[in-house]
Amino acid sequence: MTSGMLERARWAARAFARYDKASVDRIVAAVARAGADNATRYAEWAVRETGFGVAEHKALKNVACSTGLVEEYAGHDYVSPRTDPAQKIVSIPRPAGVVFALTPSTNPVATVYFKILLALMTRNAIVISPHPMAKECCADAARTLAAAAAEAGAPDGVIQVIEEPKLPLIESMMADPRVDVIVATGGTPVVRAAYRSGNPALGVGPGNVPVFVDRTADLESAARLIVDSKAFDNSILCTNESVLIAEDAVADRLVSLMRGAHLLSPADRDRVREAVFPGGRFDTRFVGKDATWIAQQAGVRVPPGTRVLLAPIDRPMPEEPLAHEKLCPVLALLRVPSARAGIDAARAVLRISGAGHSAAIHSTDSRTIMEYGAAVPVLRVSVNSGNSLGGSGVHTNLPISMTIGTGYVGGSSAGENLQPGNLVNWTKLAYHVDAPFGDFAGLDPWSPPDGPVPRYPEPSNARTAPASPAAPAPQADVLREEIRRLILEELASLVRS
């Protein structure tokens, strides 16, 4: 299966790399519509299959990562050549080729949508490897988007999915030289495996988001945004707030305004800690579960409508389990005497885990905001915004993304929210500084597909011989000519090299 799937993807990538902007836009729009039309169905399916999160919130993410993503990049062009007469440079886009995309169980379908559309915007073929816990909804979503792409004129095999993901198969495919780039979203072991594969990889690190509220903050807004963010999809996004740091001067008022958040007593805090972190290690059965269920499992009574459990802690240190990342609506609460102490506390949280990922601050003091941003070792800081959808670009002007790069400080080659530009390189035609620059107006090396798009040429031994001679298929001549042209292109490239 590995060989056939990757050969088919490679064939599709070579064909797709010659498409013009209008053809690519048509395919991207059709796939985005198919994703948005099925957003609710796949959201509900994902919750049924994984047991994680809130269907309504997953549907919002599915829309954001389909039609919302396309709207975000409507003015961008990753297909047409760019000319810079002042610098005497022409830039020609070169797609990566075959993208091997690992998707998580926590944000399954949104990530499938996201990575497929990024690949299509940049004329790449993509093979989706879903997390085994979400394989059914992800595989069906990928097939739906593949059908929409093919109907709009994309090459056969431009979107494929591994129906039964197994670790040996995934490792084999990641190391296959026919894969041009791996885009890994998931746990640390998955990302490390991608980097060890020998192929180029774009991976991310874990989050552990500190959110600081200082004495100048709009407390009503901060309280509402933090609760909504922490409760969103039952805190399944890696951008969710993990530790709330509040200045003493406003901490009591802030907590009183956090409607839907229940402040745990020290005894109840200990019960929740022991349930969620038995033996000091996070119990994954709490991932994406709601606050009332978590409280029930811990033997804690909470008011109806509780969306977040606030757990007071004394110090942000590795020995305190509640200071670690929590993909569930349990939010640690730390009081500090000053803004300086709040900044230091946020740095301490990120030393535990989450370096490079994200942080948040609620403040109206520009100096404090600047000092916080300069001090915390992360690459995105949401300001006066919930971080779940702020860090991922839905509620800020950061790029909308389900893959959050953590940069060098987080052990990642990517330091930004993954975006289409990460999947394309540019060939530079650079003139001598004294040479006259050419006239490239109206020149475009790409074109629409010439006639019906041929299917991937399967090997003859993979087909059952017909009982009697059959007439040539209508596309046979087109297919033969396409194969001949590809072979000639390959030979020409060998001669040039």
Q: Is 304 exposed, middle or buried (0-12, 13-18, 19+ CB in 10 A)?
A: exposed
How far separated are the first and last CA of the chain, in Å rounded? Answer: 32
Q: In the annotation, is 238 catalytic?
A: yes
Q: In what order do the strands lie in the sheet with 209-213?
A: 261-263, 308-312, 330-336, 241-247, 209-213, 359-362, 381-383
DSSP assignment, residue 438?
P
Measured CA to CA, the distance from residue 229 to residue 226 in angstroms comes to 5
80 vs 95: CA distance, rounded Å:
12
Helix axes 108-121, 135-151, angle to 10 degrees: 30
Q: Of 355, 356, 421, nearest to 181 (Cα)?
A: 421
**Residue 292, Cβ neighbours under 10 Å: how many?**
19
Q: One-letter amino acid identity for 197?
A: S
Write the CA distances from 35 to 100, 151, 255, integer angstroms.
Answer: 20, 14, 39
User: Of residues 65, 137, 238, 328, which has the active-site annotation?
Assistant: 238
Report the alpha-carbon distance of residue 151 to residue 408 in Å, rounded: 41
**CA 248/CA 155 separation, integer angstroms:** 60
Residue whose C-alpha is closest to residue 95's, from 18, 153, 30: 18
Phi-psi region at 474: left, alpha or beta (left = phi > 0; alpha = psi -120 to 50): alpha
CA distances from residue 172 to 169, 197, 449 in whole angstroms, order as listed = 5, 9, 33
Q: Compute the distance between CA of residue 16 and CA of residue 26 in angstroms, rounded to an integer.
A: 13
Q: Which are the catalytic amino acids?
A: 238
